[in-house]
Amino acid sequence: MQLALLYFNTIIGPEIYFSHPGSVLEKIGRKMLGFFDLDMSDKFFEVSLIEEDLKITNLYFEITSCWARGNKEMLMLSVISDKNLKSELLYDTMKDYSIKIMSIVNLYKAFYTKGYLNENDLEIEQKTKEFYEILLECYNDLRERLKEKIDDEKIIKKFKKFEW
Amino acid sequence: MVINLEKTHLLYITGLIIISIISVYVLIILPHGAPVPVLESTFFLFGLGFNSTILLWTIAGYLLLRWIRTNRKNKSLFIWSISFFIYSLTFVAHIFRAIGFPNANENLSVYHFLAWRWGMPCFSAGILYGILIILTENKKLQKIPSVSLLILGFLWLIIGLFIIPSENPIEVTMYLFLHTIWIPICFTMAYIFAYYGYKAKEIGPKLVGLGFFILMVSYHGWAPWHFQDVVYLYFIWYFLFLLSLTPILLGFVLMSVEERH
């Protein structure tokens, strides 16, 4: 399982801001960036990559921003996992973390580390660090909860494979 | 309209007429029931044995019915059905013992004990085999523990009844069998069903688990209370055993209902 956070960079378009553990494979990353162009009413959706045997579960959300066009940053939290994983298992945790991210004051500054604007703002480094910590925590939490839920599913699957 | 109602509820009206005839007879004649002297001192054993047998047969029958209704795919249902049926033989013996058949008394000799109790190791091995079929697809893991348990169960019966020198070989056998096979197996079943029920958020498996737990507790009462001076308390544990069969039956019924919903 891999966690990624994508955002819409005002200058270069969709970009992978964070991924853990390791970087997202280029081929998969390209596909993920394309999700931003999809006009979907649902904010929580999954995409199956048949050739790669993978599933990408995504939660789109926005945070307020004083520096972005339209005063909002468009973000997408994505989980790259085995194709058999039920994406519903991830929803609660992803939702909780999106709310957590939305509630951090001035978090948008974390997206401006490359000196596009206001590079002298002291809060940029602090918010970037804070954001990375939350995302790592989100990854660990997802992995733990998933492990628990997969264990729960095991016994249920064993009984449910038969009719009673 | 009236004619229709009469036709629809003919059975009810017939029932009421029969009840009325009986009631009139009872109220006028005040009949005194015929005595059954053989049951004077064994009525409790008869009642317990009879109810246990009926409940065990109901569980066995229900499991068999579900096995047939589900296209005979769930082998565990069939194995448990046979296991519960075999287990009921002990209680059938209690009924016959209560109505005066000396050969139905399992305590008459070690041979009588073996004849009426061989179902218990079969039941233990059967329920273990049934749950292992669910838990693993590995045939060896399904069969080896179950067959080992069956052999061990019969070994305890043979060693306890015929080999270990004792004034009361039946007692030795029961101690060995209950505390090394029966109780741990009942606890295992209780745990697995309760665990599944908790994880699946279903009441049926939890009830089956509860039933097996009470069953285990009731057999814990055997060792301290089987002695002659306190044997009346053994019958209280017997009542508890009888009670344990209800959640097992209800649990299995609910499992199929919950599956459909």
| Chain segment B120-168, per-residue pLDDT in tens | 999 999 999 999 999 999 999 999 999 999 999 999 999 999 999 999 9
CB-nearest to A163 from B74, B195, B196 is B74
Cβ atoms < 10 Å from Cβ of A135: 20
Q: Which residues of A touch B255 (CB under 8 A)?
A: 164
Cβ atoms < 10 Å from Cβ of A116: 13
Residue B160 lies in a domain: yes
Domain count, chain A: 1
Element (H, E) at B253: helix B231-260
3-state DSSP call for residue B64?
helix
At residue B84, does pLDDT exceed 80?
Answer: yes
Q: In this structure, are strands A2-9 and A44-49 parallel, antiparallel, or unpaired? A: unpaired
Cβ atoms < 10 Å from Cβ of B165: 6
CB-nearest to B196 from A156, A161, A163 is A156
Is the CB of A162 less than 8 angstroms away from the CB of B76? yes
Indicate which of A89, A151, A159, A160 best probes the interface with B, i.e. most B CBs within 10 Å of its own CB: A159
Q: Which residues of B touch A160 (CB under 8 A)?
A: 200
Residue B76 near residue B132, CB atoms below 8 Å: no
Confidence of residue B46 (pLDDT cuts 50, 70, 90): very high
Residue B9 lies in a domain: no
pLDDT digits (tens, 9 = 90+) for B213-238: 999 999 999 989 999 999 999 999 99
A155 and B CB contact within 8 Å: yes
Q: What would the two tokens of residue B25 be?
A: 């007879």
Give how far Cα B112 sits from Cα of A11, B27, B102, Å: 91, 47, 10
Domain boundaries, position A69: 2-159
Residue B94 lies in a domain: yes
Residue B53 near residue B95, CB atoms below 8 Å: yes
- Cα(A102)–Cα(A104) distance, integer angstroms: 6
Residue A164 lies in a domain: no
Residue B23 lies in a domain: no
Domain count, chain B: 1
Residue A146 lies in a domain: yes
- Cα(A102)–Cα(A62) distance, integer angstroms: 7
Cross-strand bridge partners of residue A47: A56
**At residue B86, what are phi and psi to the nearest 5 degrees?**
-60, -40
Determine the residue of chain A that is closest to B78 in CA distance: A164
Kindly list the residues of chain B whose beta carbon comes within 8 Å of any beta carbon in chain A.
66, 70-71, 73-74, 76-77, 134-135, 195-196, 199-200, 204-205, 252, 255-256, 259
- Reading phi first (left if > 0) and then psi (alpha if -120 to 50, else beta), residue A86 is in beta
At residue B3, does pLDDT exceed 60?
Answer: no
Give this prediction's pTM.
0.78
CB-nearest to B66 from A152, A155, A164 is A164
Residue B209 near residue B191, CB atoms below 8 Å: yes
Alpha helix segments (H runs only) across chain A: 26-34, 88-102, 123-160
**Residue B88: which residues within 8 A CB-CB, separation 6 or more?**
B52, B53, B56, B57, B60, B119
Distance from the B138 Cα atom to the nearest Cα atom in chain A, whole angstroms:
13
**At residue A115, what are phi and psi to the nearest 5 degrees?**
75, 30
Determine the residue of chain A that is closest to B76 in CA distance: A162
Domain boundaries, position B72: 43-260
Q: Which residues of A touch B195 (CB under 8 A)?
A: 155
Q: Which residues of B touch A159 (CB under 8 A)?
A: 134, 196, 200, 205
A163 and B CB contact within 8 Å: yes
Distance from the B256 Cα atom to the nearest Cα atom in chain A, whole angstroms:
5
CATH number of the domain bearing residue A143: 3.30.450
**Structure letter (DSSP) for residue B161:** I
Residue B27 lies in a domain: no
DSSP-derived secondary structure for B181-206? IIHHHHHHHHHHHHHHHHHHT-HHHH
Element (H, E) at B91: helix B89-98
- Cα(A108)–Cα(A123) distance, integer angstroms: 10
Per-residue pLDDT tens listing for chain A (164 residues): 899 999 988 888 899 999 999 999 988 998 888 887 776 666 888 899 888 889 999 999 999 988 888 888 999 999 999 888 888 889 999 999 999 999 999 999 898 887 666 667 788 888 999 999 999 999 999 999 888 888 888 899 999 999 99
Q: What would the two tokens of residue A36 be?
A: 């931003």
Q: Which residues of A touch B134 (CB under 8 A)?
A: 158-159, 161-162
> What is the complex's ipTM, to 2 decimals?
0.85
Determine the residue of chain B that is closest to A150 in CA distance: B199
Q: Biggest alpha carbon distance in chain A?
A: 67
A125 and B CB contact within 8 Å: no
Is the CB of B259 less than 8 angstroms away from the CB of A163? yes
Place of tokens 């000396």: B102
Nearest C-alpha neighbor of A164 from the set B212, B255, B128: B255
Residue B124 near residue B185, CB atoms below 8 Å: yes
Indicate which of A149, A156, A164 best probes the interface with B, i.e. most B CBs within 10 Å of its own CB: A164
**Residue B243: which residues within 8 A CB-CB, separation 6 or more?**
B214
Residue A49 lies in a domain: yes
Cβ atoms < 10 Å from Cβ of A157: 11
Based on DSSP, count helices (H) and strands (E) in chain B, helices before strands. Answer: 13, 0
